[in-house]
Amino acid sequence: MATELSSTKICDKSFCEDYLLLSPKDVTLWHLIMLLLSKNIGHRSFIDCPAGTTEESFSRRFVIVISIVAQMVLTFLYKPLSWVGSAIEFLPNFMDANGGFLDILLNLLSGKLVLPNKESPEFLTVVGLLDIRRDLDKTIKHEDPRYTSALAVMAAKSAYENAAYIKDTVEKYWKVSNLILQYLRPNIITTIDLYINP
């Protein structure tokens, strides 16, 4: 069974001879109980390992079961956590775009409610919401040896934001000219050229 399973997996196992890949899909409680009771783990359809692999230690088989259960829980929680993350990101941006909680009510009654645009320079991710600073430290001048490190920290924080936010931050707050920026997306070459004015 393990050899049949390994032929359907898209995994290059040439990197080692001893491996163990767990797939929690279609695993039942009975499968987990049988895994605990049997040392022949290589015969399980949800475990991809070299043919004939056995595990004598009950405690190690228990860790494998816990790992599979953890994967099942995380797979189950993926969508709800994604929705929670979107709500956590949307609500503060929604309140900011409308001027606060009371203005949301007034805008709702007057029909001027504004929905945040994810591509606007004002839209912030959770990282940006936790630290809204955009300016570089004014006490650190360009000649200071700490300048590059300070710039790298602010650039790393801004890297999680959208392209419009980065362009706005770099040009208006950091006073950098000649910015060439392309979105970081699959199948698109990403280019960022910064020329810092001393």
Question: Is residue 176 a contact partner of residue 195, using CB atoms and an 8 Å limit?
Answer: yes
Same domain for 141 and 73: no
**Residue 127 belongs to some domain of the structure:** no
**Residue 142 belongs to some domain of the structure:** yes
Q: Which domain holds residue 142?
A: 135-196
**Residue 94 belongs to some domain of the structure:** no
Map tokens 């405690």 to a residue: 59
Question: Is residue 127 a contact partner of residue 159, using CB atoms and an 8 Å limit?
Answer: no
Rounded (10°) CA dihedral 35, 38, 39, 45: -50
Give the end of a domain, one of 29, 47, 78.
78
- The tens digit of pLDDT for each residue in 147-160 reads 888 888 888 888 88
- The tens digit of pLDDT for each residue in 5-38 reads 444 445 666 677 778 888 888 899 999 998 898 8
Rounded (10°) CA dihedral 29, 33, 36, 39: -110
Q: What's the structural domain count of the chain?
A: 2
